[in-house]
Amino acid sequence: MKREALALEVTSVVLGACREFLVNEGFVELLPVVLAPVTDPLRTTPEWATITAYGRPWYLTRSMIFHKQAAVRVHPKIFCFSPNVRLEPVERAHSGRHLFEFVQLDLEVREATRDEVMDLGERLLLHVLSEVREACGQALRAWGREVPHYPRPFPRISWHEARREFGEDFEVELSRRAKTPVWLVDFPISEREFYDREDPERPGILRDMDLLYPEGFGEALSGGEREYEAHRIKRRILGQGLSLEAYGPLLALAEDGLFPSAGFGIGVERLVRFICGFAHVAETRLFPRVPGQDALL
Ligand code: ASP
Ligand code: MG
Fold annotation for 3-284? BirA Bifunctional Protein; domain 2 (3.30.930)
Q: What is the pLDDT of residue 101?
A: 98
Span 278-284, average pLDDT: 98
Per-residue pLDDT, 123: 98
Q: Say if strands 77-85 and 28-29 run parallel, antiparallel, or are unpaired.
A: parallel
123-148: pLDDT as tens digits: 999 999 999 999 999 999 999 999 99
Number of C-alpha atoms within 13 angstroms, CB side, residue 79?
Answer: 24
> Which amino acid does the sequence have at 175?
S
Q: What is the pLDDT of residue 201?
A: 97
In whole angstroms, what is the distance from residue 253 CA to residue 57 CA? Answer: 21
Q: Which residue, judged by its Cα, is nearest atom 1 of ligand 1?
A: 265
Residue 44, pLDDT score:
92
Q: For residue 94, what are the contacts with CB-CB under 8 A and spacing of at least 6?
A: none
Q: DSSP assignment, residue 161? A: H
pLDDT of residue 110: 99
pLDDT, residue 31, reads 98
Express each pLDDT in 67-113 by its tens digit: 999 999 999 999 999 999 999 999 999 999 999 999 999 999 999 99
Q: Whose CA is nearest to atom 7 of ligand 1?
A: 63
Is the pTM for the entire model greater than 0.85? yes
Q: Which amino acid residue places its CA nearest to atom 4 of ligand 1?
A: 264
Question: What confidence tens digit (pLDDT) does each residue in 200-211 have?
Answer: 999 999 999 999
Strand 101-110 and strand 77-85: pairing?
antiparallel
Residue among 78, 66, 7, 68 nearest 39 (CA): 66
Q: Are 62 and 83 contacting, i.e. CB atoms less than 8 angstroms apart? A: no
pLDDT band at 27 (very low <50, low <70, confident <90, very high): very high
Residue pLDDT, tens place only, 258-275? 999 999 999 999 999 999
Please report the pLDDT score of residue 233 as a whole number: 98
pLDDT score for 155: 98
Query: b/e per residue, 154-180, with b = 16+ CB within 10 A?
Result: beebbbeebbeebeeebbeebbeebee
Candidates 40, 86, 120, 266: which one to mutate for ligand 1, based on the most atoms within 8 Å of Cβ?
A: 40
Can you tell me the distance from the alpha carbon of 39 to that of 246, in angstroms, rounded to the nearest whole number?
Answer: 10
Q: What is the rounded CA–CA span in Å between residue 244 and residue 110?
A: 25
For residue 264 and ligand 1, the question of a CB distance below 6 A is answered with yes
Residues 251, 233 contacting (CB under 8 angstroms): yes
Among candidate residues 149, 154, 160, 151, the one with its CA nearest the CA of residue 118: 154
Cα 1 to middle of ligand 1, angstroms: 34
Q: pLDDT tens digit string along 151-197?
A: 999 999 999 999 999 999 999 999 999 999 999 999 999 999 999 99
Q: What is the pLDDT of residue 189?
A: 98
Q: Is 106 in the pocket of ligand 1 (CB under 6 A)?
A: yes
Those residues with Cβ within 8 angstroms of residue 230's Cβ, 6 or more apart along the chain or in another chain: 251, 254, 255
Band (33; pLDDT cuts 50, 70, 90): very high
The two most distant CA atoms of the chain are separated, in Å, by: 56
Q: What confidence tier does 150 reach under pLDDT thresholds 50, 70, 90?
A: very high
**Non-local CB neighbours of 110 within 8 Å, separated by 6+ positions:** 72, 75, 76, 77, 259, 260, 261
For 77-86, how does the pLDDT look when each residue is reduced to its tens digit (9 = 90+)?
999 999 999 9
Q: What pLDDT, on a 0 to 100 scale, did the predictor assign at position 29?
A: 98
Query: Is residue 249 very low, low, confident or very high in pLDDT (cuts 50, 70, 90)?
Result: very high
Where exactly are the structural domains of the chain?
Answer: 3-284
For the residues of 230-247, what is the DSSP string, one character each?
HHHHHHHHHHTT--TGGG
Residue 2 Cα to ligand 2 middle (Å): 31
* pLDDT above 90 coverage of the chain, percent: 100
Whole-number Å distance between alpha carbons of 103 and 142: 27
pLDDT of residue 53: 98
Residues 6+ apart with CB under 8 A from 92: 98, 291
Q: What is the pLDDT of residue 260?
A: 98
pLDDT at 273: 98
CA angle 231, 234, 237 (to 5 degrees): 150
Hey, which residues does 264 pair with through a beta bridge?
107, 223
For residues 63 and 104, is the Cβ–Cβ distance under 8 A? yes
